[in-house]
Amino acid sequence: MTKQPVISLKNIGVCYRRHGLFSRKPKNIFWALEDVSFDVYPGETLGITGRNGAGKSTLLKILAGIISPDRGTIKMSGLRTTLLSLQAGFDPFLTGRQNITLSGMLLGMTRKEITEKEEEIIALADIGDFINQPIRTYSTGMRVRLGFATAHYVDPDILLIDEVLGVGDADFQKKSSALIHNKINSDQTVIIVSHSPAVIKNLCDRSITIEHGKNLN
């Protein structure tokens, strides 16, 4: 590829301290990521696999900008990177509409974008008249659908997905996983993290395997 990478990771390491602030002893420091390097190119779908505890979630948090690495360098081209997170910031005592706005804003949408897409979000979530009721009165399925519909309409430059799964009941699972697959197959840059190599092989242009905090290839 001749394109410039949109994200470039070089020798990234992340450590957690076991006893908070006051521990400097090496045995209390745990390196979740030790040495990870790779580039992400515009428009591609990149898969990241690895076993439980290999450091996938930590890597996602780095890519989403939630935490910063303790060593190594990361170059992002100033694009909006968002982790597809469902029901982020939902408050049980707010109505469906208010939660759409709150969660949408937290995920990086502007008030204007949310107002424009509100009806589509409500239609996708298929909540009916309950949309003006506090979501504590919702069934689990309704809450899940509302969370998915809101996150679906967030349109970041780079989308991060932690395990591609359909959510909700059988019907909605089909609908939601079809929508995610559409996103993956589009021109959008997508990074998918999954413990299943089969899923990754199926969906991604390219994949990286993480083991013990290092990437193998």
Partner 1 sequence: MKLQRELNLIFYKACAELRAEAARTYAGFLWWIIEPLISMGIYYLVFSFILARNIENYAVFLCCGLIPWRWFQSSVMCGANSVISSRSLMQQVYIHKLIFPCTSLLSNTFKFLIILALLIAFVLLSGYPISIKYTAIPIIMLAQGAFIAGCTLWCAAIMPFLPDFRLLLLNLLQLMMFMSAIFYKVEAVPEKLQTLLLLNPMTGIISGYRDILLFQKWPDWSYLGAILFVSTLLAVSGSLVIHRFNRIYPKIA
Place of tokens 């959510």: 167
Compute the half-sphere exposure of residue 171: CA atoms within 13 Å on the CB side of its CA: 6
In this structure, the chain runs to a length of 217
The minimum distance between CB 25 and partner 1, in angstroms, equals 17
Asked if 180 contacts 162 with a C-beta cutoff of 8 angstroms, the reply is no
Residues with Cβ within 8 Å of residue 32, at least 6 apart in sequence = 14, 15, 16, 55, 58, 213
The minimum distance between CB 183 and partner 1, in angstroms, equals 18
User: Taking Cα atoms as reference points, which of 77, 59, 88 lies closest to residue 193?
Assistant: 59
Candidates 36-44, 88-96, 116-124, 175-183; binding stretch for partner 1 (CB under 8 A): 88-96
The minimum distance between CB 3 and partner 1, in angstroms, equals 25
The minimum distance between CB 62 and partner 1, in angstroms, equals 9
How many residues of this chain bind partner 1 (CB under 8 A)?
Answer: 28
Comparison of 27 and 112: residue with beta carbon closer to partner 1: 112
- Taking CB under 8 A as the criterion, the residue among 8, 11, 37, 85 binding partner 1 is 85
Structure tokens at 56: 């996938």
Residues from 164 through 183 that contact partner 1 (CB under 8 A):
none
- Taking CB under 8 A as the criterion, the residue among 105, 167, 179, 199 binding partner 1 is 105
The DSSP secondary-structure symbol of 95 reads B
- Give, for 40, the enclosing helix (H) or strand (E): strand 29-40
- Taking CB under 8 A as the criterion, the residue among 8, 98, 173, 177 binding partner 1 is 98
Instruction: Please report whether residue 102 would count as binding partner 1 according to CB under 8 A.
Output: yes
Residues with Cβ within 8 Å of residue 207, at least 6 apart in sequence = 46, 47, 48, 49, 197, 200, 201
Residues with Cβ within 8 Å of residue 213, at least 6 apart in sequence = 13, 31, 32, 33, 34, 35, 36, 54, 55
Comparison of 68 and 139: residue with beta carbon closer to partner 1: 68
Residues from 12 through 41 that contact partner 1 (CB under 8 A):
16-17, 20-21
Candidates 62-70, 115-123, 124-132, 182-190; binding stretch for partner 1 (CB under 8 A): 62-70
Write out the residues near partner 1 by the rule CB under 8 A: 16-17, 20-21, 61, 64-68, 82-83, 85, 88-89, 91, 93-94, 98, 101-102, 105-108, 110-111, 134
